[in-house]
């Protein structure tokens, strides 16, 4: 173990988290307490908790990494992640809360008065949660490997990271319920924001200037690390230039000379930087501030649509809206979320630019080792960590390690509670034991948290054994969860909430079509990676652009074909009216004045 400080920081975070849950352990006496924090979470606290829940490792390390690796195209992840909350605010935040339900399946089952809708929704929630959980836990293993470096009890660092994280998060969620999780998520968000702010301040102290850095990184074409064989390095492309000649256009003089020296000494493989292909304007040399590293025009639009629709369908995010005090408070929370997300992503993007501009300056030109090729980071997700190490040494790295674990803990806790709510409230209480005592219901919810965490941990532990170099990255798997959520749930939410004629047949058809089409596209991507078959399509990673419209058509078509008008008037009045909130406000005013019950 190289330095104990990151481990101490991670342990400090865990102890704080468990202390918060312990302090709030009495807030789990009813299912309403355990799953929804008694619906008493104020707008700002809920906004911070939503941010804690939402800004996972993919946001904390992944956005800076995506910007670092791909420049402008990487910034779209930050913007898209934030934009998703605009859809939530405009169409769903207040209705989610006013409906007064426990979970996404509960919300849909009550809207469509259908147990089949509930069960279909439960299945999709579990799929989304698993798709989201696995990369988070994989991230926990990787972060433990990077920061702490040692295992416990003969286990590898990766296994230790996953198992300790799961145990800590399960205890937190089981002991503190939604209230404990809410406070923990809010504190963890504060820690992430603080870490980004401190790294930025130290970077500025080291001479970082956003505008100058942008100028610096745009001087040369964008270079991508690549390991090439000796034969490949002398092979010419269509323009007649060899791979080495192409590398010379993006590498520093020192880095290029070192690579050529390696080849002259007879090395069979050599690390080079190669100019990135331009997907948007293929004849144009790509630079950091320009679009085209990752996406063509249609892929760009597909990404935007997928992220825009995905947020609204994520079960751990919608669950947070059920904890608000009122529909209006749910709207206020979302406005706060958009403001906080803007600040968070401003820093994340800035640090991606800072890493690209400052690492070569801090390291010196031409550094090639396990982490770098010509002073460019090999694994983009490590860019923020390596910048932190260069700027502030182990102490600053300890802060970032705590923030990175916070990112994982807060998201995983939200996901586990979302899964537990759908198992506990939607399956156990509705179908298995409707007359269970409150105590027994909570026990089942706690067991559901533990079992879901165990399954996700088992898959997370198996990931290193079943994947290869073609394995999807953590950020990509999270995007798949967005795609499934945005395709299977969001169209059904939007039409269910705002179109009276939507009925249970439409809801089931919409969820089934959205899930099948999005999973089909994701399957082509996964199969293509594993087998090498060219079956992946340009939208395989962002299928919502195809799947969500098809799901919407399915909702409308099946609702109209089904014919029967299901009476949802009471639900409609509740979700779009404000009578209950006005009456509750009157009652609170009345009791505050010392009046009794009417």
Partner 1 sequence: MDDHGSVATGGGASRLDPPVAGLIQAPPSGAPDYSLDDRLLGGVEADFDSIEEVDAVARSVRKKGLQYSAVILLLLLTVPVLAWLGPRWFARPVWGGLTLNFLTVAVLMHFAFVAVAILYARVANRSEDEMLGRPEGDG
Q: Which helix (H) or strand (E) holds 225?
A: strand 223-229
Contact 214, 289 (CB under 8 A): yes
Provide the CA 229 distance to its chain's centre, in angstroms: 36
What is the contact mask toward partner 1 in residues 411 to 450, using x (rule: CB under 8 A)? ------------------------x---------------
Q: How far is the CB of 348 from partner 1 (least distance, A)?
A: 10
Query: Is 41 one of the binding residues for partner 1 (CB under 8 A)?
Result: no
Q: Site for partner 1 (CB under 8 A): which residue of 12, 42, 215, 433? A: 215
Return the residues of window 567-586 that contact partner 1 according to CB under 8 A.
569-574, 576-580, 582-584, 586
H or E element, residue 270? strand 269-275
By beta-carbon proximity to partner 1, the closer residue of 503 and 524 is 503
- Chain positions 241 to 280 lying near partner 1, rule: CB under 8 A, are 280
CA distance 22 to 180: 8
Where helices occur in 28-156 by DSSP H, the ranges are: 31-36, 43-54, 57, 63-70, 72-87, 93-99, 104-112, 115-147
Residue 80: Cβ-neighbour burial (10 angstroms; 0-12, 13-18, 19+): buried
Least CB distance to partner 1 at residue 211 (A)? 2
Provide, rounded to whole angstroms, the least separation between the CB of residue 135 and partner 1: 25
For partner 1, the binding residue among 7, 18, 119, 214 (CB under 8 A) is: 214
> Is the Cα torsion angle 70, 295, 212, 215 positive or negative in sign?
positive
Contacts with partner 1 in 277-296 (CB under 8 A)?
280-281, 284, 287, 289-292
Nearer to partner 1, 220 or 378 (CB): 220
Applying CB under 8 A, does 79 fall inside the site for partner 1? yes
Asked if residue 84 lies in contact with residue 307, where contact means CB atoms within 8 angstroms, the answer is yes
- Identify the residue among 205, 342, 364, 393 touching partner 1 (CB under 8 A): 342
- How many angstroms separate the CA atoms of 338 and 49, rounded? 13
Dump the DSSP string for 285-329.
PP-TTSS-SS--HHHHHHHHHHHHHHHHH-HHHHHHHTTBSSHHH
Tell me how many residues contact partner 1 (CB under 8 A).
Answer: 82
Q: Are 368 and 271 in contact (CB under 8 A)?
A: yes
Of residues 194 through 213, those in contact with partner 1 by CB under 8 A are: 209-213
Binding test (CB under 8 A) with partner 1, winner from 13, 20, 75, 418: 75
- The interface region with partner 1, picked from 31-39, 148-156, 269-277, 454-462 by CB under 8 A, is 31-39
* Min CB(591)–partner 1 separation in Å: 7
Residue 83 or 516 having the CB closest to partner 1: 83
Query: Which DSSP helix (H) or strand (E) runs through 11?
Result: helix 5-23
Mask 293-332, x = binds partner 1 (CB under 8 A)? ----x--xx--x---x----------------x--x--xx
Residue 591 in contact with partner 1, rule: CB under 8 A:
yes
Q: Report the C-alpha gap between 380 and 387 in whole angstroms.
A: 11
Contact at 8 Å (CB) between 275 and 286? yes
CA distance 214 to 209: 8
Smallest gap from Cβ 561 to partner 1, in A, equals: 24
> Quick one: which segment of 93-101, 145-153, 221-229, 511-519 binds partner 1 (CB under 8 A)?
93-101
Q: Please, which residue, 87 or 273, has the CB nearer to partner 1?
A: 87
Q: Are 149 and 2 in contact (CB under 8 A)?
A: yes
Is residue 482 part of the contact set for partner 1 (CB under 8 A)? no
Looking at the Cβ atoms of 10 and 203, the one nearer to partner 1 is 203
The answer to the question of residue 47 lying near partner 1 (CB under 8 A) is no
Per CB under 8 A, does 115 bind partner 1?
no
């Amino acid at each position: 173990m190289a330095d104990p400080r990151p481990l101490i920081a991670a342990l400090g975070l865990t102890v704080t988290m468990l202390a918060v849950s312990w302090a709030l352990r009495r807030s789990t006496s009813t299912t309403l307490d355990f799953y929804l924090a008694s619906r008493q979470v104020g707008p700002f606290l809920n906004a911070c908790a939503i941010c804690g829940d939402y800004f996972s490792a993919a946001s904390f390390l992944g956005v800076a990494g995506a910007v670092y690796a791909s420049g402008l195209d990487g910034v779209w992840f930050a913007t898209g992640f934030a934009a998703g909350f605009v859809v939530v605010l405009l169409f769903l935040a207040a209705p989610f809360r006013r409906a007064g339900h426990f979970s996404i399946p509960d919300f849909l089952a009550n809207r469509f008065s259908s147990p089949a809708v509930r069960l279909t929704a439960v299945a999709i929630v579990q799929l989304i949660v698993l798709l989201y959980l696995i990369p988070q836990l994989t991230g926990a293993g990787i972060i433990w490997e990077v920061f702490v470096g040692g295992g416990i009890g003969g286990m590898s660092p990766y296994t230790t990271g996953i198992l300790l994280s799961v145990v800590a998060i399960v205890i937190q969620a089981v002991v503190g319920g939604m209230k404990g999780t809410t406070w923990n998520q809010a504190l963890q968000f504060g820690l992430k924001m603080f870490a980004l702010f401190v790294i930025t301040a130290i970077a500025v102290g080291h001479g970082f200037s956003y505008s100058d850095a942008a100028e610096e990184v745009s001087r040369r074409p964008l270079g991508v690390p690549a390991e090439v064989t000796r034969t490949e390095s002398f092979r010419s492309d269509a323009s007649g230039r060899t791979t080495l000649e192409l590398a010379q256009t993006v590498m520093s003089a020192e880095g290029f000379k070192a690579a050529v020296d390696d080849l002259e000494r007879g090395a069979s493989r050599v690390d080079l930087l190669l100019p990135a292909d331009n997907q948007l304007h293929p004849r144009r040399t790509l630079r950091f501030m320009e679009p085209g590293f990752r996406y063509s025009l249609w892929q760009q639009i597909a990404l935007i649509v997928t992220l825009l629709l995905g947020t609204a369908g994520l079960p751990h995010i919608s669950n947070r809206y059920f904890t608000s005090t009122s529909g209006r408070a749910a709207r206020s929370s979302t406005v706060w979320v958009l403001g906080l997300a803007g600040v968070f992503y401003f820093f994340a993007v800035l640090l991606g630019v800072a890493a690209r501009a400052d690492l070569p300056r801090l390291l010196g030109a031409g550094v090639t080792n396990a982490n770098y090729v010509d002073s460019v980071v090999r694994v983009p997700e490590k860019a923020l960590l390596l910048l932190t190490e260069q700027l502030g040494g182990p102490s600053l790295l300890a802060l970032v390690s705590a923030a990175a674990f916070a990112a994982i803990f807060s998201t995983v806790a939200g996901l586990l509670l979302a899964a537990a709510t759908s198992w506990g409230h939607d399956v156990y209480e509705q179908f298995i034991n409707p007359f269970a005592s409150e105590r027994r219901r909570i026990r089942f919810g706690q067991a559901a948290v533990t079992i879901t965490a165990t399954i996700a941990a088992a898959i997370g532990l198996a990931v290193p054994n079943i994947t290869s170099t073609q394995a999807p990255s953590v950020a990509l798997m999270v995007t798949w969860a967005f795609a499934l959520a945005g395709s299977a749930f969001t169209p059904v939410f939007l039409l269910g909430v705002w179109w009276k004629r939507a009925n249970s047949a439409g809801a089931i058809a919409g969820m089934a079509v959205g899930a099948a089409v999005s999973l089909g596209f994701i399957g082509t991507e996964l199969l293509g990676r594993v087998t090498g078959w060219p079956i992946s399509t340009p939208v395989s990673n962002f299928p919502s652009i195809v799947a969500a419209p098809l799901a919407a058509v399915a909702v409308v078509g099946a609702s109209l074909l089904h014919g029967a008008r299901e009476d949802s008037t009471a639900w409609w009045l509740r979700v779009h009216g404000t009578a209950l909130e006005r009456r509750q406000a009157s009652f609170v005013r009345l009791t505050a004045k010392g009046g009794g019950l009417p």
